Amino acid sequence: MRVVSLVPSLTEAVALTLPGVLVGATDWCTHPAGLDVARVGGSKYPDLDRVRALRPDVVLLNVEENRLADAEALRAAGVPVRVTYPRTVPDALSELAELLTELGALAEPDWLGEARRAWADPPRLAPERRAVVPVWRRPWVVLGTDTFAGDMLRRLGVVNAYDEQSERYPRPSLAELHGERPELVVLPDEPYRFTTDDGPEAFPGVPCALVSGRHLTWYGPSLAEAPALLADQLSRPVLAG
């Protein structure tokens, strides 16, 4: 089995579970550390010639991470693709188990069992906090309805102010974000790298929780430690003047 992954979280999952199976990954596949495989460009614009040259038995993609055009081009070239699209924690755990079995895993990896246990009874904010969750700025983009990261936050006691919107990633103005009167602003460090100096200043007087984007958006081995880590980060917001 020769696998190329265009999804960073799946790269980590496959590399840790099935050493030697992965032959290619994107430039953004940073985990596990020291991963020594061919690089094929970015997730959004991979070099498909490089992908094909690796003679993969399957290429792993995700609906949100990758472009439909690349999936179709690979299929047209006769390259099998496997597309994932989890929108809840249970979906992610199930899809990971199915995918790893398809790729040759004979048993569920320890990290996946740890993730199931961690999410069976995750820590929660008490009381719950109504929040806005920007994932980009210039323009502002926030988590809306039916997203994996939104489901993770809900299980940790965060009530997403945009969860009832028809869009999965609304683009409200900053004034509209203020108009929601959030009790908390959740600022991940990816895909946009919010920091103490870039993000909180836009929400003066509102507690801002800076959280790990990898643990909020990746579905793979990071799921095992995500509940405890995110709960800790959510409970220690910073306050801009």
Residue pair 27/43 in contact by the 8 Å Cβ criterion: no
Per residue of the chain (241 residues), give pLDDT as tens: 999 999 999 999 999 999 999 999 999 999 999 999 999 999 999 999 999 999 999 999 999 999 999 999 999 999 999 999 999 999 999 999 999 999 999 999 999 999 999 999 999 999 999 999 999 999 999 999 999 999 999 999 999 999 988 899 999 999 999 999 999 999 999 999 999 999 999 999 999 999 999 999 999 999 999 999 999 999 999 987 6
Bridge partners, 141 (sequence order):
136
Domains 3-85 and 119-239 share a fold: yes
Q: Residue 147 has what pLDDT?
A: 95
Q: Residue 240 has what pLDDT?
A: 75
Bond into 127 cis (ω within 30) = yes
Tell me the per-residue pLDDT of 71-124, one tens digit each, with 9 for 90 and over. Answer: 999 999 999 999 999 999 999 999 999 999 999 999 999 999 999 999 999 999
Tell me the per-residue pLDDT of 31-48, one tens digit each, with 9 for 90 and over. Answer: 999 999 999 999 999 999
Q: Residue 97 has what pLDDT?
A: 97
What predicted TM-score, i.e. pTM, was given to this entire model?
0.93
Domain boundaries, the chain: 3-85, 119-239
Q: Residue 235 has what pLDDT?
A: 96
Residue count of the chain: 241
Where helices occur in the chain by DSSP H, the ranges are: 8-17, 48-53, 68-76, 89-102, 110-120, 148-155, 174-179, 213-217, 226-234
Structure letter (DSSP) for residue 154: H
Burial class of residue 120 (count of CB atoms within 10 Å of its CB; 0-12, 13-18, 19+):
exposed
Q: What CA–CA distance (Å, rounded) separates 196 from 153?
A: 20
Q: For 109, list phi and psi in degrees, rounded to 5.
A: -65, 155
Q: Residue 241 has what pLDDT?
A: 60
Locus of tokens 């969750």:
133
Q: What CA–CA distance (Å, rounded) separates 221 from 109?
A: 9
Q: What CA–CA distance (Å, rounded) separates 50 from 155?
A: 40
Domain 119-239 has CATH 3.50.50.60: no
Domain at 3-85: CATH architecture: 3-Layer(aba) Sandwich (3.40)
Q: What CA–CA distance (Å, rounded) separates 44 from 136?
A: 16
Instruction: Assign 3-state DSSP to the chain and report helix, strand, coil percentages, each to 5.
Output: 35, 20, 45
